[in-house]
Structure 1
């Protein structure tokens, strides 16, 4: 889809969900100021910004200046720079208490806004922080345990829903800005990543600016795009798939794969970047259709806290999980459908021709491997510094993840996880 600045638009991201809205066609800081004034009638703003963006670019200063210059009725009450990868619990608690203090002069309302400027760890943090702000008794990591326990049992009615609204300005393609679920990693040394399920409210607005994403290191940007491909593949390959999810996943795959491969070769092509950003919405529409995910996400959630990038987990695990499921004969027909979608993409056919691979001898895992290698992404645990000594703990934590049980071949034993991990050790 051609992208142009100067044609500003505001529209729902999805046709079946009230949030988020997306805004695009303008510079991110100008769009933020416009919608703080006109759309959200904001009174107070707290910013959570990426360390790299704040240190290496003028993005944060441009955002702060736009709010101060163009939003005379809005008070910028605070800014926090940095959330470590995979959103540690202790950091979430720290920022919550900082924001709570900054907003303490009067009761929190829906005219109070958290703005995230950066990647998925910030977005996850803000969704959880907004929920915690509505519940004053949640002040420590121990208190946060009660929210997680309730989320595990899908019984969160004892907690007040978020009042604060979140504006997300993403610089990656991981897609967390399009759902309310938030992932955060325990700070107790276990390395366990936990999924929290706040009520569906945030993010309320997502601002898409493809030029801003050029500040993201190519490796990070492209790998998070593979994360969105993972969303599409695992929904399309699910035995609980549905037509709505299938259609969205197919659309997302075509936009994401083509957009990412083109961005790899032409990094400043804003059309390709914008296509990928729209592909993320399709991917999250597929996830939001009610289709459960699988073992790539389950293992990836727990691999991340070992120091592996959010998107890199999918680069390593997705082809292996597809191969393992095929060996188990768990979802052969669904995988064939997904493979056929991918080989319709012109760039994928070119890759296959250059590699000398024939359609008859190429399964879904092979096609995904070809795409991920073309993007220059890591393909083994060794590539990202994870050795055999980590496999036992990784497998144990994976069994606690909800998507392990909804894999096409349910993952219920540690040995099953080890089998998959052995496929990508080195």
Structure 2
């Protein structure tokens, strides 16, 4: 049941969760649903370090009226296992009956892994090492503690039954999954998002674009008109409005449309469409100190280029869907033409790369402090990722990954084709 003035609905009907809330300030929405929807009385909050110092966090605690039994300020990027284990112990000791995240990225993944770990009696690094699973792994118990996410980025992890967390013993980002893992309620507040740094907001917007583009280009048997519609609708909401936000930072209408574009993209992703090389390599680039969204800014144009260069017509044809959508948007056309692109000559890698550049986001590994000496280990870790084999051209060999990385390394030895 919705609060007064609130829009409240299922994100992906007929799936039972998550629900979406928007239209009223996030503290009011959160307090209403903690009490009336979840009947919870012991709240554990995971908040980003930056937001934890602001009135937004103070307002949330005030709205919860003394129900807060624990607070974690910050999870390090890419969700190290040590941070996850600390939170597991704190939630268990506090006897919390609901987890709220206020922030994005690592916080969202962390809450998912914590809930899964609590349900499976995880207490140690060794326990956690036995838990990384896929959706078909037998014997793994479903999470029980409900989660409310209040996102401050566009990465979309709050909609997914997957999470990544980094085993710092080997710097490998391990995957965790369960069909019932993830948020029960996601609260969208465009006003809150204005406080997110531009680098994070815009780069994670490209992360959401990455969902749409790799989804549209997927050759998976489940891909088809229905999933294409979700990815297409998401792309149409995301790219034009990201360009607006770049110019009009406080435009809340554009921000809400971007948030709803993420919902469309994640709906199609949730229908079982796997991602490709940009996501897979990006999972392992992240632990080298690169933000979730920045990995997509760098890798998506390069992976599109690689697939087009090495693919047959079956691989190349889906990229035309991306081009048809983007060349139909007037605000996007203006940007592409200003950057010297022509409709009949530019490929999908060119077009996406131009949008990334227009938003002022990084285009190379050099831009984010990753150098040539790190490419070998990055390639090796990437080959362990579940989404490399589902790239339109399956990425199963080290030299394939290195060829993609060579496109974007950005040093004086590179002859970039972007």
Find out whether 1:172 has 2:153 as its counterpart.
yes
For residue 247 of structure 1, the aligned residue among 229, 232, 250 is 229
Offset at residue 120 of structure 1 (A)? 1.5
Alpha-carbon contact 1:244-1:289 (below 8 Å) kept: no
For residue 69 of structure 2, the aligned residue among 74, 77, 81 is 77
Runs of 4+ aligned residues of structure 1 deviating over 4 Å after TM superposition are none
Offset at residue 259 of structure 1 (A)? 1.2
- Larger deviation: 365-374 or 338-347? 338-347
For residue 86 of structure 2, what is the aligned residue in structure 1? 94
* Counterpart secondary structure, 1:293: coil
Find out whether 1:323 has 2:308 as its counterpart.
no
Offset at residue 153 of structure 1 (A)? 7.8
Find out whether 1:163 has 2:144 as its counterpart.
yes
Aligned Cα root-mean-square deviation (Å): 1.4
For residue 414 of structure 2, what is the aligned residue in structure 1? none
**Cα displacement string for residues 344-401 of structure 1 (whole angstroms, at most 9, x for unaligned residues):** 1111111122223211110100100110001000000000000001100000001000
For residue 61 of structure 1, what is the aligned residue in structure 2? 58
Find out whether 1:42 has 2:40 as its counterpart.
yes
For residue 328 of structure 2, what is the aligned residue in structure 1? 344
Alpha-carbon contact 1:47-1:116 (below 8 Å) kept: yes
Find out whether 1:268 has 2:212 as its counterpart.
no
Partners of 2:114 and 2:374 in 1: how far apart? 31
Partners of 2:227 and 2:140 in 1: how far apart? 31
Partners of 1:211 and 1:399 in 2: how far apart? 40
Unpaired runs of 5+ residues, structure 2, are 411-418
For residue 120 of structure 1, what is the aligned residue in structure 2? 105
Alpha-carbon contact 1:338-1:364 (below 8 Å) kept: yes
TM-score (norm 2): 0.94
TM-score (norm 1): 0.93
Change (3 A) 1:340 1:255: same
Alpha-carbon contact 2:275-2:390 (below 8 Å) kept: yes
* Counterpart secondary structure, 2:344: coil
For residue 416 of structure 1, the aligned residue among 400, 406, 410 is 400
Partners of 1:339 and 1:53 in 2: how far apart? 38
Partners of 1:247 and 1:379 in 2: how far apart? 28
For residue 390 of structure 1, what is the aligned residue in structure 2? 374
Partners of 2:181 and 2:128 in 1: how far apart? 19
Q: How many residues align?
A: 404
Partners of 1:420 and 1:289 in 2: how far apart? 28
Change (3 A) 1:402 1:201: closer
Offset at residue 159 of structure 1 (A)? 2.8
